[in-house]
Amino acid sequence: MIRIHKGGQEAVIDGGELVSYRVDGYEFIHQKGSPGWGQSDTEMFPVIGPTAEASYRVQVPRGNALQDQHGLLRDMAYSLKGQSAAGATFVKEYQAGTPVKNTKYPDRSPMQWGVWPYSFHFEKSFTLTDEGLEVRFTLKGERDMPYMMGYHPAFKLRSPRPTVQAGETAVTLREVLAVGSRALLLPGLEEVTLKDEKILHLRTSGFGHFMLWTEVPNMICIEPITFYPYAVAQKDLHQGFEFLGEDARQFSLWLRPDSATRT
């Protein structure tokens, strides 16, 4: 466990996973063991969305890649690159064609190994500032490598009627629950606000969209994404790829707590 501090803020990171973010003792992150989800955050890369109906194969320029839901990055372990009192950086390295054991196999998936035909370097950093917590991702890899990028953090809910403010629209928890496992798309947005007992502003860079998911009333996942996977059939998931250039790509999510309590 790595703990970083700044003022009244504390974040706890366990092997690259953000398991706690407290501001003056108030916990914003969904806790493992609570109903809803067995994690508190993860990344969706190099694909977003389910692949079972396409026999776990995703079309790429180098043929077919074997990918379970949300890609193989989540099945790889982070290494600690560096840390300070208010920050920490983690790294995952992948060599093209290396089989990665699918953690869902055999209980939740028949696919034992994931394989991606491109090499990449993936960094995840956490930095506490005076305004809040920044989570930044840096992607380097082979030129023209296809990819989708998504971040999947889960937030603890306490009030009976929380909402997510998306522009002029207030999305209710009931609306998110009604969509189910497909997740509710919030297109073309870089900032939303979670209004629960406390108010939390979420601002992104590099993603372009959000989607909302939960199946329980005590938790909500607010996920910045580059592509909404349910816009196409699973066999056509490749339509959502972007392609890496010579320079690294960066994606960020800033969590900025509001000092006000929701009224």
pLDDT at residue 263, rounded to an integer:
46
Residue type, 165: Q
Residue type, 194: L
Q: Report which of 148, 142, 140, 145 is spatially closest to residue 124, judged by C-alpha positions.
A: 140
Domain containing 128: what range?
2-261
Q: How many domains does the chain have?
A: 1
CATH value at residue 33: 2.70.98.10
CB 205, CB 251: distance < 8 Å = yes
Digit-coded pLDDT (tens) for 12-41: 999 999 999 999 999 999 999 999 999 999
Digit-coded pLDDT (tens) for 81-112: 999 999 999 999 999 999 999 999 999 999 99
pLDDT at residue 223, rounded to an integer:
98
What is Dmax (Cα atoms) for the chain? 54
pLDDT-derived band of residue 193, with 50, 70 and 90 as boundaries? very high
pLDDT at residue 49, rounded to an integer:
96
| Adjacent-strand bridge partners of 90 | 80, 124
Q: Tell me the C-alpha to C-alpha distance, in Å, between residue 233 and each of 188, 189, 210, 230.
A: 21, 23, 19, 7
27, exposed or middle or buried, with CB in 10 Å at 0-12, 13-18, 19+?
A: middle
Number of H helices, E strands in the chain: 1, 25
